[in-house]
Chain A
């Protein structure tokens, strides 16, 4: 069956619930990337992120009637389901967030940007990025999700509020606190080597 790339998510979901595999695949391909990245950045664990994405779409396969159009978009519904799964995962393994040394675990194949500067400079940049990633992972979940959606996924405040089902003001304040915590954390990290040198 032909799928129009511009077809609305609601139409795709309706077609998918009546057995149209093409519509389901299109819906999956549209949303899996952002959902996977969201889950990965929230859990810091690729396997968990994979499980979460699978669970979210499994909900659509098994019970498409769970989605109520009057409550929001299909995207927001999927984010809502993913968020519940993420929170459950974090509750089960609250301090299991062992961030790997290089990027997210088991996904060593993260695309690397080409750096034309010296290898030393490139290594320094990579290290800084890893520090920022680690700092993001250590933020409390509610601040982390705002940072992930607005700063990493570059979602607007309105979209993030819709996805997280909360007022824009809440997103703004969580983002503010998330930024402040990140900065504080990285400031401390930056100070550590200086202090170490000074103490020698």
Chain B
């Protein structure tokens, strides 16, 4: 064994496989390698001592305190943020719900008020008075053409209207083009569709026209 081989094997702590017999023989023969071996063992022992001496060295407790403080702050903030997000979503949902309901009410009221505005001289009629006003039977029979009656005393029920719902009906007097009667389901003479006519509309509880009566024709 050469000095180089011995020193290499010593520093590698036997990882490269060293014959103990050969090493001992070399140590006896070579005082330099014996000194090297002694120095190495001494260094190793000192390193071990340092390791043992410092085994209990730890970070100061203030580090743990700071970290725990940071941990609490972070998680408190996260919890608060999560709560804020949930609240915001709940508020947004409530706001949407309120707006939807308000809009629905408003549109319903608007349609009612338009109907009211269209009839300055409105009057309420009871079911009994309607009977007295001689309401025509509901819906056309098969093959029959539904026409607004020219008789100013008679209301013609519009298609799909239900006489039973005319408990507290309102009569609205409006001026409209004859062609608009078509939209109510009545047959209109195309040649006179542009004529302006005075019409009484019988509005049901829901504000929808249920029956029509030609009050008097203009133009």
Contact = CB atoms under 8 A, between A and B. Distances in A.
Interface size band for A: 35 or more
A110 B71 contact: no
Contacts of B78: 19
Contacts of A29: 64
A111 interface: yes
Interface stretch (A4-12, A31-39, A85-93): A31-39
The 7 A-B pairs of least Cβ separation, nearest first, read A36-B59, A19-B75, A152-B51, A33-B58, A132-B46, A151-B47, A53-B59
A123 to B, nearest CB: 15
Given A28-B64, A152-B47, A183 B59 contact: no
Contacts of A180: 11
Interface in A5-45: 16, 19, 21, 24-25, 28-29, 32-33, 35-37, 40
A49 B59 contact: yes
Contacts of B12: 172, 176
A192 interface: no
Given A113-B52, A172-B12, A176-B11, A58 B70 contact: yes
B110 interface: no
Interface string A145-180: 001000111100000000000000000100010011
8 contacts: A19-B79, A21-B68, A36-B57, A53-B63, A54-B63, A58-B70, A110-B53, A136-B47
B71 A132 contact: no
A112 interface: yes
B59 A110 contact: no
Contact of B39 (A35, A152, A172, A187): A187
A152 B48 CA distance: 6
Interface magnitude class on chain B: 20 to 34
Contacts of A190: 39
Interface in A171-200: 172, 176, 179-180, 182-183, 186-187, 190
B33 to A, nearest CB: 13
A132 B54 CA distance: 14
Given A19-B79, A32-B58, A33-B59, A183 B39 contact: yes
Contacts of A61: 67, 70-71, 74
Contacts of A36: 57-59
Interface in A94-126: 107, 110-113
Given A25-B68, A128-B46, A182-B43, A110 B54 contact: yes
Looking at chain A's contact residues, is the secondary structure mostly helix, strand, loop, or mixed? helix
Contacts of B72: 21
A152 B50 contact: yes
Contact of A24 (B36, B47, B63, B71): B71
Interface of B: 11-12, 15, 36, 39-40, 43-44, 46-54, 56-60, 63-64, 66-68, 70-72, 74-75, 78-79
A153 B43 contact: no
Given A37-B57, A179-B11, A57 B67 contact: yes
Of B48, B70, B79, most A-chain CB atoms within 10 Å:
B70
Nearest to B58: A33
B74 A50 contact: no
Contacts of A50: 59-60, 63
Nearest to A32: B59
A30 B129 CA distance: 94
